[in-house]
Amino acid sequence: MIIASVANVLVWAIWVLAAFACLGTGVAVISFSNPFYSALSLIGNLASLAVMYLLLSAEFVAAAQVLVYAGAVMVMFLFVTAYLGGRVDAPWAGGPSWQAVAAIAASAALFVEVVVVIGLKTSGRLSHEHETDAAFGRPYEIGRLFLTDHLLAFEITSIVLLIAAVGGVILGSHSREAPTAGVQQ
């Protein structure tokens, strides 16, 4: 019992830490004016998310998150940021003035709605967690599901990745003609 309650407290503590880290880094991503700092914040966000996945018994996904997302995607981001020289811009400036207000309103509305939906509609229905078996979250289970129930998704995903690779090559290749002086709006 004591072990169970201590474990519970531990879980809660880790959860709170991870959640706040997640939220904080999320806000940081959109707040920093230096894109380098934003990218680093996102890496932190991904890490906290991986912790939360672990809490949810999704071990494989957590590992994939760290390896793929943080390890590959964010590295790409950092490369490009380094290449571009990290131009700094004032985050809140530019565009029609009403846009900023409307943007904040829209996203606030979205958040409120999400909370309301979760709170109102699902109260009572989302409190009976199902028991998981031992294979839940294991690579074996993921692999089995990919190759049986979700084979089509698996194949299509591979095609999407192929297309992205090809697109990346094309976009990144040097154009034959000299780059134009840019059409400034």
Partner 1 sequence: MPAAWICLLSPLAAALLITVAGNRISRRGAGYVATLSVAVSFAAAVVSFVALLGEEPDERYHPSTLWSWLTAGQLDFGLRIVVDPLSVFMMLVVSGVGALIVAYSIGYMDGDDEERRYFAYMALFVFSMLMLVQGGNLLILLVGWGLVGLSSYLLIGFWHERPAAIAAAKKAFVMNAIGDATMALALFLLIQRAGSLNFETVFSQADSIGGSWTMNLIALGLLGGAVAKSAQLPLHTWLPDAMEGPTPVSALIHAATMVTAGVYLIVRTAPLFEQAPRVLELSAGLGAITLILAGLIALVQTDIKRVIAYSTMSQIGYMFLAAGLGAYANAMFHLMTHAFFKALLFMAAGLVIHGLAGEQDVRRMGGLRSLMPYTFGAFTVGALALAGMPPFSGFFSKDSILAAALDHGWYGEVLWVAGMIGTFLTGLYAFRLLFLVFWGEPSPFVREHLMVGSHEHAREGHLMHDGHETHEHAGEGPFSMTATVGALTLLAAVGGFIQFAGVWTAVSDWLEPVAPPLVEATGMQELVSSVVAVLLGLAGIGVAWLLYGARTSEVPRLGWAQRLLEHKFYFDAAYDAAFYRPAVFAATAIGRFVERPLVFGSVRELSQGMRGLGLETRRLQTGLVRTYALAIAASLAVVMIVFVAVR
Partner 2 sequence: MRGPDVVWYLCVAGFLFCTGALGVLIRRSPLIVLLSLELMLNGSNLALIAFSRYYAQGNGQIFALTVMAVAASEVVVGLGLIVSIARRQLDLDVDKLSTLRG
Alpha-carbon dihedral 139, 141, 143, 149, rounded to 10 degrees: -160
- Residue among 108 and 156 whose Cβ is closer to partner 1: 108
Q: CB-wise, 117 or 162, nearer to partner 1?
A: 117
- Is residue 77 within 8 Å of residue 42, measured between CB atoms? yes
Kindly state the smallest distance separating residue 61's Cβ from partner 2, in Å. 5
H-helix or E-strand spanning residue 52: helix 35-55
53 burial class (0-12, 13-18, 19+ CB within 10 angstroms)?
buried
Token duo for residue 102: 């409307």
Residue 31 CB, nearest approach to partner 1 (Å) = 17
Q: Which does 121 bind (CB under 5 to 8 A by kind): partner 1, partner 2, none?
A: partner 1
- Which of 2, 97, 129, 134 touches partner 2 by CB under 8 A? 129
- For residues 2 and 182, which CB has a smaller minimum distance to partner 2 in the complex? 182
- The contact mask relative to partner 2 for 143-162 (x = CB under 8 A, - = no) is --xx--xx--x---x--xx-
Rounded to 10°, the helix 139-147/151-172 angle is 90
Instruction: Retrieve residue 87's tokens.
Output: 């131009």
Q: Choose, by CB under 8 A, the member of 2, 130, 134, 176 that binds partner 2.
A: 130
- 116 interacts with, out of partner 1, partner 2, none, CB within 5 to 8 A per kind: partner 1
